[in-house]
Structures are given as C-alpha cells and as structure tokens.
Amino acid sequence: MMIDMKPEVQINTNYYKVEDLRSLAENTFVLTLPKSRFKFVAGQHISLSIQGDYQSREYSIYSAEEGDNLEVLVKEVDGGYFSPKLKHLKKGEMVEVHGPFGKFGLDEKRLDSHKHVFIASGTGIAPFHSMVKSYPELDYEVIHGVRYASEAYEKDTYENKRFTICASRDENADFKGRLTEYLKKAEFSENTCFYLCGNSDMIFDAMEILKDKGFDRENVTVEVYF
C-alpha cells in the first residue's frame, strides 16, 4: 500500500554527464550525476537510459533531497543487458533521466510521532538511504537482508544502533539468517511505521509476519523491486 504523502513532483527529462561511479561491493555501485535543478521526494525513483541506447531501467534515488548530486544504487545483473553498460560508463558520458516517479515515501502525518522501521533486501535499501540522509533527525531503524555482511552498502551512513544486518550466508553479521527470521523474533512498539522495499517474496512474507504481530496495512508502505 502506497501512502500519498506529498503532491507529485513535476516529471521532466534531463540529460546529464556522468560524474562518478563508486564501487560499494562486488557488482554493486553508485552512479553519480549532477543534480542541477532536479527535484524529488525521498523514496521516489527515476527511469535511466544511456544516450544512444533504446533501453531504460528504473532505479530508486539513493541521494538526499537536498544533496549535491543525484545518485542511484545499481547492482550489475549477470548476463543482463543494461546494468553492465552502466557499470562501464566513463566520466563525462551522457545519460538520460526521466522522472521522478512514484509515491513511495515517509508518512508525513506520523513523521514525528512514530518510529520508522525500514526493511530492505539487497539494493532495496536505496530509498531508505535517501530518507535517512534527507531527514537526519528522524527516529528510524534499518533492517537490511543480504547474503553476506559485505553487502550492507555504506553501513556507516546509519547510526550503528539503528542498523541491523541480516545475512543468510555469513556469520559476521548482526543476525545470521534471513531477514524474515529476524522479524519473527523482533519486538516493535505500537507507534511504529514500516516501510518494505526489495524482492516480492521478502515483502509478502514480511507483511504476514507484521500482521501476526498486530500491524495492519495502514502501518505498512510497500515498494516492490521484482
């Protein structure tokens, strides 16, 4: 369920030169572009294409609303067509940005009254990175499900006590096992809002777990990646 918390930002098409590609983990990187006059709400996504290429892909915005740059988090897909091309872009090459799109974002009515729990699998953490960077005073918790602890992208961005790594294949994590296994054991206060982003299996399972804990759809906002 999406919460319409702000008016839609005007959708534009912009052409930008690549400023940087920052590697975070094996096959995962941040594409950095100039921000210019690009306006968006933390949680929204863009459609990105390479100049001269007919294909495009959607990516959640990784950077803060008032940040110096526009950034997206990208995982290179083995055998994929588009993400390998992004990974091999050079500084100064052109990309085309459409957007922003979507209504996934913080529940403004509960911004100060509730704790905001961000539940992500893999690169689904991207919109939550944007939210935390955009609202530094936010009362939040991040629960990030990955295979290996090294895939907890830029974990130093978050306060240590507010960030939990759940790694299904790694003992060197806060919790050894799947994110959903952690959720079953976790306790949350009544005044909590939940935000889910990642693969559909995780999201559906997490919603059932939260429902069993007494949190209905009004307390949960969802963005499905695949």
21 and 116 together in one domain? no
Domain boundary among 66, 101, 136: 101
- Name the pTM for this structure: 0.91
pLDDT of the residue at 7 = 43
d(CA 100, CA 39): 8
16 and 122 together in one domain? no
Q: How many domains does the chain have?
A: 2
In a domain? residue 181: yes
d(CA 18, CA 28): 17
pLDDT, tens digit, 9 for 90 and up, residues 163-181: 999 999 999 899 999 999 9
pLDDT, tens digit, 9 for 90 and up, residues 123-151: 999 999 999 999 999 999 999 999 999 99
CATH number where 116 lies: 3.40.50.80
d(CA 124, CA 223): 9
Question: H or E segment at 133?
Answer: helix 126-134
Domain boundary among 50, 71, 101: 101
Domain boundary among 49, 66, 101: 101
Both tokens of 52, joined, read: 């001269």
Q: Is the pLDDT of residue 6 over 60?
A: no
pLDDT of the residue at 26 = 85
d(CA 137, CA 142): 14
pLDDT, tens digit, 9 for 90 and up, residues 12-71: 678 899 999 999 988 999 999 998 778 999 999 999 999 888 899 999 999 999 999 999
Parent domain of 210: 108-224
d(CA 174, CA 167): 8
Q: Determine phi and psi for 38, rounding to 5 degrees.
A: -70, 120
34 and 64 together in one domain? yes
> Residue 20's CB: how many other CB atoms inside 10 A?
12
38 versus 102: which is more confidently predicted? 102
63 and 141 together in one domain? no
61 and 122 together in one domain? no
Instruction: Convert 110-145 into a string of H (helix), E (strand) and C (coil).
Output: HCCCCEEEEEEEHHHHHHHHHHHHHCCCCCEEEEEE
Mean pLDDT value across the chain? 92
131 and 211 together in one domain? yes
69 and 145 together in one domain? no
